[in-house]
Amino acid sequence: MSMNNQGRPTRPETDDMTNSETFTGNRALQIEEPLIFEGGDMDGTGVDLPKPKGSGNRLGGLERQSNINLPGLAEPEAMRHFVRLSQKNYAIDMGPFPLGSCTMKHNPRLNEKMARLPGFGDIHPLQPVSTVQGALELIDTLATWLKELTGMPAVAMSPKAGAHGELCGMMAIRAALEARGEADTRTRVLAPESAHGTNPATAAQCGFKVDSIPADASGRVDLDAFREKLGPDVAGIMVTNPNTCGLFERDIRAIADAVHEAGGYFYCDGANFNAITGKVRPGDLGIDAMHINLHKTFSTPHGGGGPGSGPTVLSEALAPFAPIPYVVSGKDGFELVEKRTQDEGQSFGRMTAFHGQMGMFVRALSYMLSHGGDGLRQAAEDAVLNANYVLARLKTEMTPAFEGTCMHEALFDDRFLADSGVDTLDFAKAMIDEGYHPMTMYFPLVVHGAMLIEPTESEAKQELDRFCDALLSLAKEAKAGKVGKFKAAPVHAPRRRLDETGAARKPVLRWTPPVSDAASLAAE
Amino acid sequence: MRYLPLNEIDRAQMREVIGVADIDELFADVPGETLNPSLNLPDHQGEFQVETILGEMAAKNRAAGAGPFFVGAGAYKHHVPATVDHIIQRSEFLTSYTPYQPEIAQGTLQYLFEFQTQVAALTGMDVANASMYDGSTACAEAALMAKRITKRSRVVMSGGLHPHYASVTRTNSELIGDDVIFAPSSPDGQEDILDFIDEETSCVIVQTPDIFGNVRDLTPVAEAAHEKGALLIAVVTEIVSLGALKSPGEMGADIVVAEGQSIGVSLNYGGPYVGLFATRQKYVRQMPGRLCGETMDAAGQRGFVLTLSTREQHIRRDKATSNICTNSGLCALAFTVHMSLLGGTGLRQLATLNHEAACDAADAFSAIDGVELVNTSFFNEFTLRLPRNAEEVVEDLAQRNIIAGVPGGRLWPDEEEMANLLIVATTECVTSQHIEAFAAALKEVL
């Protein structure tokens, strides 16, 4: 009698059925779902609206004549469509999502409930300030927490995401250089090779030239190489800390001192602030600006790629250049500074139409109040503990990229796969079949075949043990030469590997009606 | 600490496996004197306590649904079907990441493909991306894209463009040394922008309906722009208007950017919203933001992936088309679900209701002594000229629980001639009782 991996008996004759094709293409709970445009009723609608009166037309003769040609689904059809789609996604609520640098931690549902209070979710950014005092109080309270946790004197709340926060910080640096009359001469920004792609892209968007600093053998900024690159044309440096190798830049204060001595500013990428929240304040390390990803550190949901939120803390030197609008506490309550003329006029301007991601502010404050100062520190410690536990357990079969312990994420290279025929991508895809979302692959660029694992504080020890057991087993299988399994993976996911090259060569970016339908639509 | 699964026994066992006696050994690289600062913050609290604190703050705000509400200018109070909020709170959507592993993210990828198709259809364009932060940042990105395409560095902005959009675009374009030219504001919509377009112009940016509510014919602007080799960027801040109005694509726009909040997304005091970005097929490789495309898997089944990522920062770094990484995925999902319920038919009905409410309101308010309707055309928003400062009138009406609109002084703080203007928006949520209450109160305070 054959056994499954839980030691329970299985009947061999049923095993033959597992690869059989079904009439529908469905596989039990995995149901194939067409696009809404394929079969949806082009004249239908799933909403009941009052009948128009047929009165009035002031549209200036610009009425839409063409058909919109989008189907409207009845509510049960729509519900079923999107629920079936949802079942093709992996999610944190289903299991570990160890994407290094992305911080996929638990998203508390209290946050969702709070953001939907009508007093937060149903207020307009341009209604009178006297009618939104509670909203301004919330923004001000969140700002106070962020300043306390970072040890910085000011925070710009409007950036919409991490990269937008970087833009905010670099714009403030540029404005400060302009105020010093040095914007034309200080045109170079230094960034380590291991930086997120957003760092060089942001610097370029601000008109700076980007100069890359190599990493040293320990995975940190090469201090000597960095010092050599300093000069009168340097606007500043962008450093992630803890860095993308999951290591704390132990020379950070020397870096800050050196860049300040050279007349530049220190932008710290705060993507990994979750590792040190409550443990150390970036303000005590000499930085000038840092964005905080509320969707990483403070548990607002990633939502399949956004929305994010990137409040940016600023030093005394940069604070006067912060973007409008911002909240101040006045004698009759909170006020909103919306125009440059209200302050000394040094603000670099406006980054977005309104006040930033209010919905994310509510969620983040809900998380902070729940955790408190003590809980936030414990969360950082648990995140670091979990990552080091994974590092310790996996290093028997996998190869850590650097010696020693790590911060909140464990970085491996692909040396353990050498000569196996299996590469990092194959290894990641095999994890999918085991029921896990893969780790971050091929990033940071400074490590060959990088695998960056960030478990976060949300994982229980038991869950980490199962995860490590699975990875150890895969590593052993790869070394044992089971290449075929890895090259074929995933085989149990809703889709096999997808042809990304083909997708880019001939991009199909929208649905178009089949030729026969198109002809009949045109004839209407 | 209900969000932390580890207990003290776990922690001790794990430290032993790692080989450290104290957690702070793992923080040894942090300069010692900066480690474990004392924080002036309260300790952890239960759900009920947190709900109480935040509930008290929320109660100090006047929700749009709590009475007559006429504020628009880039964000609109529409009804969102209950299905939308249910779907976006499903774990598989809410707690997933950017679909970098497409085999286990087909749910996200397929709705993005549907979203792109809906946006392209509404705007009358060939292709749309998978969303931007919001309409204003999409507008700024469009100007940068026009510069890449035309290799020119002068941006011409209509005076009817939302001043905040203009400001965001200027902030971004001036950073890279571009000239930014503003046409003067024409509240009646009779703007002469063609004279500003010349051989140096990379793009001309025109909003319709414009900030004052006027419906703008973009065809002559498109012709003039194309004649000089410039691009027309059309801005739509009220996407529901496209249920009633000719699409920007039909009028010759090269890039269409829009705020999608009106379909599926709550007001949220300004964010998160969802920026829409659509263009012509020939410009697709110059687009910012993520794109989802159709492809096949190894078994020959249709599937979807993020594509053309060689434009993006994680591949191209300082040569990328934009620094953007995050999009507004969950709001794009809300848009897709709401739009899938509405369909073209429902959107047309919704647009008609919005327009009829505006016609009724404009007639009722402009009948009041001293109140003048500025517009010659409008969709669901129009501008009134009042006999006194509109900011004061708005405050007086707020005292009477009527949230009247956006006063000119709020949007153009330094322009005296705008001070008496009031921009009034009406959606399907505005009833005839609301209009009567507004008219009666306005008579009292004038």
pLDDT at B332: 98
pLDDT at B323: 83
From the list A70, A89, A509, the residue facing B344 with the nearest CB is A70
User: Which pLDDT band holds residue A345 (cuts at 50, 70, 90)?
Assistant: confident
User: Which pLDDT band holds residue A470 (cuts at 50, 70, 90)?
Assistant: very high
Furthest C-alpha separation in chain B: 82
Q: Which residue of A has its CA nearest to B123?
A: A68
For the segment A314-318, the average pLDDT, to the nearest whole number, is 97
pLDDT at A56: 79
Size of interface A-B (CB pairs under 8 A): 722
Between residues 91 and 150 of chain A, which touch chain B (CB distance below 8 Å)? 91-94, 97, 99, 102, 104, 106-108, 110, 112-128, 130-135, 137-138, 141, 145, 148-149
Contact B247, B114 (CB under 8 A): no
Over pLDDT 90: what percentage of chain A? 88
Contact A414, A424 (CB under 8 A): yes
Q: Calculate how close chain B gets to A416, using CA atoms only, in Å.
A: 21
B295 to A496: CB separation less than 8 angstroms, yes or no? no
Take residue B147 and report the two structure tokens written for it: 């510069």
A497 to B320: CB separation less than 8 angstroms, yes or no? no
Q: Calculate how close chain B gets to A1, using CA atoms only, in Å.
A: 32
Would you say residue A16 has pLDDT above 60? no
From the list A47, A60, A372, the residue facing B376 with the nearest CB is A60
B107 to A88: CB separation less than 8 angstroms, yes or no? yes
Between residues 106 and 125 of chain B, which touch chain A (CB distance below 8 Å)? 106-108, 110-111, 113-114, 116-118, 120-122, 124
Higher pLDDT, A381 or A196: A381
Question: With contacts defined as CB-CB under 8 Å, which chain B residues touch A240?
Answer: none
Contact B14, A462 (CB under 8 A): no
Q: Which residue of B has its CA nearest to A80?
A: B87
Residue of B96, B125, B161, B382 to mutate when probing chain A, most A C-beta within 10 A: B96
Q: What is the pLDDT of residues A298-307, one digit of tens each?
A: 999 999 999 9
Question: With contacts defined as CB-CB under 8 Å, which chain B residues touch A69?
Answer: 121, 344
What is the DSSP pairing of strand A2-3 with strand A265-269?
A: unpaired
pLDDT at B222: 98
Question: With contacts defined as CB-CB under 8 Å, which chain A residues touch B41?
Answer: 145, 148-149, 372-373, 376
Q: What is the pLDDT of residues A143-171, one digit of tens each?
A: 999 999 999 999 999 999 999 999 999 99
Residue of B24, B44, B90, B103 to mutate when probing chain A, most A C-beta within 10 A: B103
Partners of residue B303 on adjacent β-strands: B295
Question: With contacts defined as CB-CB under 8 Å, which chain A residues touch B102?
Answer: 495, 498, 500
pLDDT at A522: 57
CA distances from A135 to A121, A147, A358, A362, B49 (A): 10, 18, 8, 9, 19
pLDDT at A518: 59
CA–CA gap between residue B326 and residue A302 (Å, rounded) = 9
Tens of pLDDT along chain B (446 residues)?
999 999 999 999 999 999 999 999 999 999 999 999 999 999 999 999 999 999 999 999 999 999 999 999 999 999 999 999 999 999 999 999 999 999 999 999 999 999 999 999 999 999 999 999 999 999 999 999 999 999 999 999 999 999 999 999 999 998 888 999 999 999 999 999 999 999 999 999 999 999 999 999 999 999 999 999 999 999 999 999 999 999 999 999 999 999 999 999 999 999 999 999 999 999 999 999 999 999 999 999 999 999 998 877 777 778 887 888 878 999 999 999 999 999 999 999 999 999 999 999 999 999 999 999 999 899 999 999 999 999 999 999 999 999 999 999 999 998 999 999 999 999 999 999 999 999 999 999 99
Q: What is the pLDDT of residues A429-452, one digit of tens each?
A: 999 999 999 999 999 989 999 999
Q: Counting Cβ atoms within 10 Å, is residue A487 exposed (0-12), middle (13-18) or buried (19+)?
A: middle
Query: Which domains does chain A possess?
Result: 111-368 (3.40.640.10)
Question: With contacts defined as CB-CB under 8 Å, which chain A residues touch B78?
Answer: none
A475 closest CA partner among A412, A519, A520, A388: A412
B271 to A357: CB separation less than 8 angstroms, yes or no? yes
Residues 6+ positions from B336 with CB-CB distance below 8 Å: B111, B114, B115, B118, B264
CA distances from B155 to A141, A204, B178, B236 (A): 39, 19, 7, 18
- The secondary element (H helix, E strand) that includes residue B349 is helix B329-366
- The secondary element (H helix, E strand) that includes residue B74 is none
The interface pTM score, or ipTM, of the predicted complex is: 0.97
Residue of B48, B57, B141 to mutate when probing chain A, most A C-beta within 10 A: B57
How many CB atoms lie under 10 A from the CB of residue B418? 20
Would you say residue A313 has pLDDT above 60? yes
CA–CA gap between residue B361 and residue A235 (Å, rounded) = 54
Question: With contacts defined as CB-CB under 8 Å, which chain A residues touch B312?
Answer: 197
Question: With contacts defined as CB-CB under 8 Å, which chain A residues touch B60?
Answer: 119, 132-134, 137
CA–CA gap between residue B382 and residue A92 (Å, rounded) = 46
Q: What is the pLDDT of residues A65-96, one digit of tens each?
A: 988 999 999 999 999 999 999 999 999 999 99
Model confidence pTM above 0.95? yes
Worst-scoring range by mean pLDDT, A49-58, A273-282, A467-476? A49-58
B326 to A306: CB separation less than 8 angstroms, yes or no? yes
pLDDT at A6: 73
A419 contact B CB<8A? no
Question: With contacts defined as CB-CB under 8 Å, which chain A residues touch B268?
Answer: 115, 120-121, 123, 358-359
B284 contact A CB<8A? yes
pLDDT at A520: 62
For the segment A333-352, the average pLDDT, to the nearest whole number, is 83
From the list B168, B343, B348, the residue facing A71 with the nearest CB is B343
Query: Which domains does chain B possess?
Result: 1-36 (no CATH), 64-79+343-445 (3.90.1150.10), 82-338 (3.40.640.10)
B69 contact A CB<8A? yes
A362 contact B CB<8A? yes
Q: What is the pLDDT of residues A193-249, one digit of tens each?
A: 888 889 999 999 999 999 999 999 999 999 999 999 999 999 999 999 999 999 999
How many CB atoms lie under 10 A from the CB of residue A98? 28
Question: With contacts defined as CB-CB under 8 Å, which chain A residues touch B276?
Answer: none
Question: With contacts defined as CB-CB under 8 Å, which chain A residues touch B266?
Answer: 116, 121-122, 359
B227 contact A CB<8A? no
CA–CA gap between residue A450 and residue A399 (Å, rounded) = 10
CA–CA gap between residue B401 and residue A282 (Å, rounded) = 45
Q: How far is CA A431 from the centre of its chain?
A: 21
B325 to A432: CB separation less than 8 angstroms, yes or no? no
